[in-house]
Each structure stands twice: as structure tokens, then as C-alpha cells.
Structure 1
């Protein structure tokens, strides 16, 4: 399998990042069971000149942990990349594999936690430990003035790294938070299989988030 390179290679954790013992042990188990999978910290994917930053939770076992590209190979990615394409933020055909040639235009995807956690549930310590990598990536995106957080954990990480305060920035679908430096964070329910199957998140609700991001971009450009 050909794996997608990171648009921000100098900011990524090492392939054998040792920082979280529980995640390292899980990674080693999966490397023994599935030696052809990526099984490593998943790099960012997208446009290094992005105006929009999308912050996810963590790699999925059969998705990004297998393919090495965020939201690629699992149920959640289908809705995300279809929506990005609909709003002109992706070009090419999404075929759920890292060498499908898909490109993002004006957007970049970064996970709050770079490695796969058991049961898709990172611990608070693992989230904190991974935060410096995300922070360094955001620092390399000076054109990104609008961010979308997919889910509660991504929201918390985004607020802290963008300089906001969590007590004043409560998570809610389509909630908007203006950070001290003027950057804007929009919340979305995560596009997980569970949220889609239970109709917590519908395609229409998800599209509203990206439509609002584009509206805000136009407002910023016109100011």
C-alpha cells in the first residue's frame, strides 16, 4: 500500500513515537497482527496553505490506522470527503485509499490524537501528550483563520490551542467561538458511523457546518 505523505512533515511525531505507553503497546499488537497496515501516528492530510483547519479525534482502527491517511478506509470518511468535494474543498475521486489521488484545496485535516487508541477512547493524559504535535502544526498554518472541530475532544483541543477558554466555549453542533486573535472555531458532531446511524448527525447538518465556514471566509475577505 502506498501511504500519503504529510503536508507538514517537520511537525509530525516519529513513526515509532514512544510517548504514550498504552498506545505503543496497542500499536505493537496490531503490527504483529496486521503487518501491512500503517500502524503508526497518522500524519495530517491536505493543503499546507489551507484557510480551513479540520480537527478530528484520532485514527480509526480499520480507517486511518490501516491506511495512514485521516478518515480514509472507514465509514466516517465517506461523508467527510463527499462534503468537502461538494463545497469545492477536495478534487479527484475519493476511493478510500491513500493513493487514490484525492487532493484538498484550502483545507487540511489534523487529528487531536495521532495514534489509534483502544475502543477509540484516548485518555486525558494521551490527549495532553499529543497536543504539542497539533500545536506545532497549527503554527505552520498562518492562513487558517477558520477551524471545524469534529466532536467534543477535538473541540477541547482546538479551544486550548487557539487560545480560548473552555468554560466560555461550550461544545454544540454549529456553535461558533471567536478566539482572542480573531480565529473562529465551528463545532460539529463527529461524522462517526454511530452518529450517522442514530441520526445525531445527518448529511444536511454536516453540510451546514461547511456552508457556515465558507460564509465566514467570505465575510473575513470582505472586511
Structure 2
């Protein structure tokens, strides 16, 4: 048997610097490949791997993905849905954004009702589900402890979101943002990319709508929606009807 090659400090450094390579990624697939091999945030690396080893009792017989979770959806999307980060026992387990947890159950059911998804259920990365006209993205691609990435972790992960938005620019017309964290992250990225984001920045809120113009003449409508967390969906702060209304608005604006 051949011994496995030793991992050197230069290997670790190269993998930690992967976000810096995102700006030169030629395709969305190339961005996804950079994401899945990223080790830029030590705290998140430790947490995602620990969760994958310890596992939740309900999933103790499953092999966890336990890596950064790439975005998912149509490479020619007119709408992007901006979340927060993968869930420890959802995307961190299945390897697909918003798949395998209660939040994903709510989101994919709504995407199906509004014509964006081929199925109302997303169980695992190879279940055959397809998204049409929409791509699910996140400011942070690793599951964070307590679902709370730090500002530094968001900044280190930001080049991935920035490059995705650049590559989607020929088609994307609307961004649906789930929650205040994603809203702030997206506004920061858009400002850096030359979009005319007002100062002070628009405030997040469910139903908020902001039309932004780019220096090259493009326009993007940003819609706010409460996050599909259990805290919101179980208490009725976000109902299926409210979520559907935002997605229908996004669909209509994208095709206006």
C-alpha cells in the first residue's frame, strides 16, 4: 500500500487562499470547485468537521459532507435567493444548499409552488431536483456555530458571492434576500461592484424593495424576505403565503 502524501503548511496556505482566486474563475462551476476546497476560516473548518464526526442521532449512519457547500441552481438564473450559511445538519450533511433541514423544506416547497423548482422536496444532492430560473447563494459557505458567522468570516467568503454575481450578470435581474445578514452582505458586495447603493444603505425588512442601477446601465431589484428559519416559520412571522408572494414578485419582475 502506498503511503498518503503528507500535507504541508504550504498546502494549507494555498487552500486557505482559495477565495482570492475566485475573481479569476471563468465559470460558476469553477467557483463551486474553489468553494468546496476552501479552508480560509479556521473556526468554521473546525466546526463543520466536528459536526461531521459527531453527527446528530437521527443521521448517525450517514456520511456527512462536512465541507463548504457550493451554490445551487440555474447557471442562467434571472433570480438569486441569498441565504445566510449552510445548516450544520442540513447542507453541511447533504452537500446541497438548503437541503436536509426544516428551512430547506419550507423554501423548496415555495419554490415549487411558484414554478422555480421541479419538486417540492429536496432530500439529498443526487435526488434529481432541478431549479429553473433561480440560483441559491450564500454570503458564507460553511456551517457556522449557532448559525452566526462573524463579520471577518463573511469578508473572507465574500469573493465567491462577488464572482457569482459577475458571472450571472447577463441574466440576473432580481435578488431575494432571506434575512438581515444576507441583506447587509449583498449590499456590501454590490457597492464594491459599482452598483449605486444609496447612503445610508436601504434597511432590511420583509417586503422591502430597492431598485439599483449599475454604472454600466444594468438594473437589479433587491427584495427583502424574512429568513425561512424555524424561529420565523414556526411562530408565523413568515407564512407560506408571505414567502410565495415575494417569490411571485421576483418572478414577475424578472420577466417584466
Pairwise CA distance, 1:92: 3.5
Q: Is 1:72 the counterpart of 2:105 in the alignment?
A: no
Q: Is 1:156 the counterpart of 2:189 in the alignment?
A: no
Cα distance change of structure 1 residues 98 and 177 upon mapping to structure 2, 3 Å threshold: same
Q: Is 1:188 the counterpart of 2:225 in the alignment?
A: yes
Q: Report the Cα distance in structure 2 between the residues aligned to 1:82 and 1:32, rounded to whole angstroms.
A: 30
Q: Report the Cα distance in structure 1 between the residues aligned to 2:140 and 2:109, rounded to whole angstroms.
A: 23
Deviates more, 1:15-24 or 1:194-203: 15-24
Cα distance change of structure 1 residues 64 and 207 upon mapping to structure 2, 3 Å threshold: same
Match of 1:167 among 180, 200, 204: 200
Pairwise CA distance, 1:115: 0.3
Match of 1:54 among 70, 81, 97: 81
Q: Is 1:18 the counterpart of 2:18 in the alignment?
A: no
CA contact (8 A) 1:159 1:165 kept: no
Q: Report the Cα distance in structure 1 between the residues aligned to 2:80 and 2:125, rounded to whole angstroms.
A: 20
TM-score, length-normalised on structure 1? 0.90
Deviations 1:63-99 (A, max 9, x none): 1010010110000111111111111111145242222
Q: Report the Cα distance in structure 1 between the residues aligned to 2:252 and 2:120, rounded to whole angstroms.
A: 25
Q: Report the Cα distance in structure 2 between the residues aligned to 1:9 and 1:217, rounded to whole angstroms.
A: 23
Deviates more, 1:160-169 or 1:109-118: 160-169
Deviations 1:128-170 (A, max 9, x none): 1111111111111020011100101111111122232462311
Q: Specify the alignment match of 1:4 in structure 2.
A: none
Cα distance change of structure 1 residues 205 and 166 upon mapping to structure 2, 3 Å threshold: farther
TM-score, length-normalised on structure 2? 0.79
Q: Is 1:144 the counterpart of 2:172 in the alignment?
A: yes
Deviates more, 1:86-95 or 1:180-189: 86-95
SS of 1:105's partner is coil
Aligned residues: 213
Pairwise CA distance, 1:29: 1.8
Structure 1: any 5+ residue segments left out of the alignment?
A: 1-6
Q: Which structure 2 residues correspond to residues 1-223 of structure 1 after superposition, within 5 A?
A: 8-12=28-32, 13-34=34-55, 36-92=63-119, 94-142=121-169, 143-163=171-191, 164-165=197-198, 167-181=200-214, 182-219=219-256
Q: Report the Cα distance in structure 2 between the residues aligned to 1:74 and 1:99, rounded to whole angstroms.
A: 16
User: Cα RMSD over matched residues?
Assistant: 1.7
SS of 2:175's partner is strand
Q: Report the Cα distance in structure 2 between the residues aligned to 1:38 and 1:84, rounded to whole angstroms.
A: 24
Pairwise CA distance, 1:33: 2.6
CA contact (8 A) 1:44 1:111 kept: yes
